Structure 1
Amino acid sequence: MISRKLVDFSTKNSFFLFGPRQTGKTTALLSFLKQNHENRYWTVNLLLSGSFLTYEKDPSQFSRDAIYQIEKKQVRCIFVDEVQKIPLLLDEIHQLIESYKDVYFILSGSSARKLKRGGANLLGGRALVRHLFPLTFAELEDNFDLERVLTIGTLPGIYFDSPAVALDKLRSYTEVYLKEEIIFEALLRKVGDFHRFLEVAAQHTSEIVNFENISREAATKGKTVKGYFQILEDTLIGHTLPAWDQSIRKQLSLHPKFYFFDNGVVNGILGSLDGIKFPEFRGKLFEQWLINEIRANIVYSKAPIKMHFWRTQAGTEVDLILSKSAKPFAAIEFKAQKEIGKKHLAGIKSFSEEYAVDNKVLVCEVATSSIYDGIEVLSLTDFLSKRLGELISPKA
């Protein structure tokens, strides 16, 4: 089993652990509990129908069961898996935290939608928030393979499968989770509209969101399309990357980019692993993976860094701008290319003419890193194994 060494579970405070389905939340947490708590923990899995039906019918039964575990079995940690299935349990947990100061709770969830929309008790700051993402470069170590990352993604239960088995699992993920559970959770009535939207959104991943175009391609109203994107964010299936502008007000008025959380899921939605055969789509997957990789590292390190992209009205673009305290300090471009020329540096050069940034980096598929016109042209290994850590460290 690959160690999830980047995420920190070592705390005596209660915490939420959010992450998309199949990122390995349950496996990682159970491994942590077995190593650190021996038999002094209690697990409640709300994906199991028995537990779900019991506590949905009577949430107070959870408190009675928890008190028995705490007082009679000396349990000191309670793990509730997929807590968003019954948001009312958080009221019970809140009271238990107040009553038993030496007991802490771990609450995992693959969706924040019900918790946010239902006005659920989020424990009033009494619980920390942690996140778990698909496997990162640092976690894969010698198992890293770029073509595999771009085609089947990095979900732990799929990454080591053959392409045929992986595609079958990814299609199942799409059918069972994306199209059934999300539809059920969001109470969507027009199932066909959501299916069409999902495929169109996958085709346009890594692009600036154009609601009008997507609405037309999916034959769905623009307002509905905006709601669907919000559902994907709430259920942790994707996230937006805002545009950079020195003015926060202008940032909010610009259209963001949208990325799915995993390349394999995108290919599963589209029903094929052949996308990387087409240079343009391969470039989208390359960018999406690196954006997700950097995002995961920033979250795991708890660095106070914000991510944006930059684009001028003329179309000049930089894939990623990193900023602290509203000041950009790094401009990073991604190119799924093995040979780099001046044209690939144009975006970073344009940005650096307008904003003074100390770190100008182009990440690509070159075998050897170099400096080109004052810009670091880095191989994937050099960027991910060293330079990224330098950029997001507190000393950066």
Structure 2
Amino acid sequence: MNPNISYINRDIESKIKNSLNQGKVIVVYGARQVGKTTLLKNIFEKLDIPYLYLSCEEQRVKTKLVPDYLELKKMIGDYKYIILDEAQNLENPGLILKILIDNNPSLNIIASGSSSFDLANKISEPLTGRHFKFMLYPFSYNEIKKNVLGIDMDFTWRESLLFGAYPKIFTTENNTEKIDLLSLLSSDYLYKDILTYGLVKNNQKIHDLLVALALQLGNEVSYNELSILLSIDYKTVERYIDLLEKSFVIFRLRGLSRNLREELKGKVKIYFYDLGIRNSLLNNFTELKLRMDVGSLFENYFVLEKIKSYQKGTRVPNIYFWRTYTQKEIDFIEEVDGKFKAYEIKYSSKKTISKATKEEFMKSYPTESIKVISSDNLGEEI
């Protein structure tokens, strides 16, 4: 179904362009294969300016990019625009970037990274207040809608519940090929950086943890229960989840609790940055009408699309879910300046939010709106 498209403009593209020529390094984070290299090259090609592209996964590049300006100058020559791709592979990326900017403030450097646990740690101190940070996700609903003329968005978002929205997957028409590509992604790329840096002692355990999280999609997660299930200690579960989040495989949504007596405290839900990866981990690509987990897939999709949509604005809200001991629950909440917007996410348009839940939430929090999101009105809210 998907048309043969050469390029889809990304929502962060204009923000990156506007951040050039300001004497700061630009850092773009995102999972492997999410389109970082394509995006960055395309920006400079559209601007029609010469640029130097360096892949920091190449040994030749890693050897020559050292914290010495004379050596760095030999490498970059007279280029004013430089891409350092997968910069987390450099030994001292923060110091290297600082030396380059200190000695030549007119340089425009964009560094990309597929893991924030390593790159963010290495650049935060040397580049304090001297870098812009952006996040690139798999294609969003709105990126596809704006760039692919005549596309059936109702079909497309439903397909994304099964196969996700990685660029390579989206532009592949055959479902069998999609499944094969997702299998390759989830096995070869998913935790490449975690394994490269020796941060996990047992590869099978982290895979088993991801499978367990995939099965619990949309439910509150207990680290203690995962610890027992996987026969690893609580702290290891916590560390593995943190590493997976910093590798842009999963993300956490925390419960809203302002010390009201009946609210659940300290709870967390875990979602996937791409549902194709989630379904590949379970080897389950059954069509939606036959699935028992379609509600959880739809919830993950809406929450993720909301997060993607924040890139277009200037304010990023605090986000939560909410539940009480009496089982009153709201799936997704945005907070800006102490005001709340609440969303109950129901795949079926026939389901509603109870009056008691509405009243209790609105009594406790200054609420701008409470909406029910279903398959009928999804496109209006993302």
Find the aligned partners of 1:193 and 1:218 in 2 and give their Cα distance: 7
How far residue 290 of structure 1 moved from its aligned partner, in angstroms, is 0.9
Letter in 1 for 2:219: E
Give unpaired runs (5+ residues) of structure 1: 367-378, 385-396
How far residue 171 of structure 1 moved from its aligned partner, in angstroms, is 0.9
Asked if 1:29 corresponds to 2:43, the answer is: no
Alignment check: 8 A CA contact 2:341 2:369 kept: yes
Find the aligned partners of 2:264 and 2:36 in 1 and give their Cα distance: 33
Q: TM-score normalized by structure 1?
A: 0.84
Alignment check: 8 A CA contact 2:353 2:372 kept: no
Corresponding residue for 1:130?
A: 134
Corresponding residue for 2:283?
A: 271
Corresponding residue for 2:344?
A: 333
Find the aligned partners of 1:155 and 1:349 in 2 and give their Cα distance: 40
How far residue 50 of structure 1 moved from its aligned partner, in angstroms, is 3.4
Asked if 1:261 corresponds to 2:244, the answer is: no
Corresponding residue for 1:382?
A: 380
Task: State the secondary structure of the residue aligned to 1:241.
Answer: strand
Find the aligned partners of 1:50 and 1:278 in 2 and give their Cα distance: 51
How far residue 348 of structure 1 moved from its aligned partner, in angstroms, is 3.7
For residue 44 of structure 1, the aligned residue among 24, 32, 54 is 54
TM-superposition CA deviations, 1:148-169 (whole Å, max 9, x none): 1100011111113222111111
Letter in 1 for 2:237: V
Give unpaired runs (5+ residues) of structure 2: 1-6, 146-150
Corresponding residue for 1:2?
A: 8
TM-superposition CA deviations, 1:284-314 (whole Å, max 9, x none): 1111111111111113423141111111112
Task: State the secondary structure of the residue aligned to 2:82.
Answer: strand
For residue 224 of structure 2, the aligned residue among 199, 212, 217 is 212
Asked if 1:154 corresponds to 2:165, the answer is: yes
Find the aligned partners of 1:276 and 1:21 in 2 and give their Cα distance: 27
Find the aligned partners of 2:287 and 2:232 in 1 and give their Cα distance: 25
Corresponding residue for 2:148?
A: none
Alignment check: 8 A CA contact 2:67 2:99 kept: no
Find the aligned partners of 1:115 and 1:252 in 2 and give their Cα distance: 35
Find the aligned partners of 1:350 and 1:252 in 2 and give their Cα distance: 14
Alignment check: 8 A CA contact 2:164 2:274 kept: yes
Find the aligned partners of 2:309 and 2:126 in 1 and give their Cα distance: 25
Alignment check: 8 A CA contact 1:23 1:133 kept: yes
How far residue 335 of structure 1 moved from its aligned partner, in angstroms, is 0.6
Q: TM-score normalized by structure 2?
A: 0.86
Find the aligned partners of 2:341 and 2:10 in 1 and give their Cα distance: 27
Task: State the secondary structure of the residue aligned to 1:129.
Answer: strand
Corresponding residue for 1:113?
A: 117
Find the aligned partners of 2:331 and 2:194 in 1 and give their Cα distance: 30
Alignment check: 8 A CA contact 1:275 1:282 kept: no
Change (3 A) 1:189 1:59: same
Task: State the secondary structure of the residue aligned to 1:361.
Answer: strand
Change (3 A) 1:147 1:304: closer
Q: Which deviates more from structure 2 when the two are superposed, residues 233-242 or residues 347-356?
A: 347-356
How far residue 278 of structure 1 moved from its aligned partner, in angstroms, is 5.3
Find the aligned partners of 2:243 and 2:70 in 1 and give their Cα distance: 34
Corresponding residue for 1:88?
A: 92
Change (3 A) 1:112 1:349: same
TM-superposition CA deviations, 1:304-337 (whole Å, max 9, x none): 4111111111221101111123x23211111111
Find the aligned partners of 1:183 and 1:273 in 2 and give their Cα distance: 27
Task: State the secondary structure of the residue aligned to 1:125.
Answer: coil
TM-superposition CA deviations, 1:57-114 (whole Å, max 9, x none): x6247x44642466x53x2111100111114032122011011111121011110112
Letter in 2 for 1:22: Q
Alignment check: 8 A CA contact 1:81 1:109 kept: yes
TM-superposition CA deviations, 1:112-155 (whole Å, max 9, x none): 11235568645122111111111111111135312211000111
Corresponding residue for 1:104?
A: 108
Change (3 A) 1:243 1:133: same
TM-superposition CA deviations, 1:181-225 (whole Å, max 9, x none): 422334311222222112111111232121122223323222211
Find the aligned partners of 2:292 and 2:107 in 1 and give their Cα distance: 52
Change (3 A) 1:128 1:246: same
Change (3 A) 1:146 1:115: closer
Asked if 1:243 corresponds to 2:261, the answer is: no
Alignment check: 8 A CA contact 1:328 1:355 kept: yes
Task: State the secondary structure of the residue aligned to 2:311.
Answer: helix
TM-superposition CA deviations, 1:325-364 (whole Å, max 9, x none): 3x23211111111323465x66444322332312111110
How far residue 37 of structure 1 moved from its aligned partner, in angstroms, is 4.6
Q: Which deviates more from structure 2 when the two are superposed, residues 105-114 or residues 219-228?
A: 219-228
* Cα RMSD, aligned residues only: 2.6
Find the aligned partners of 2:141 and 2:198 in 1 and give their Cα distance: 33
Corresponding residue for 1:374?
A: none
Corresponding residue for 1:78?
A: 82
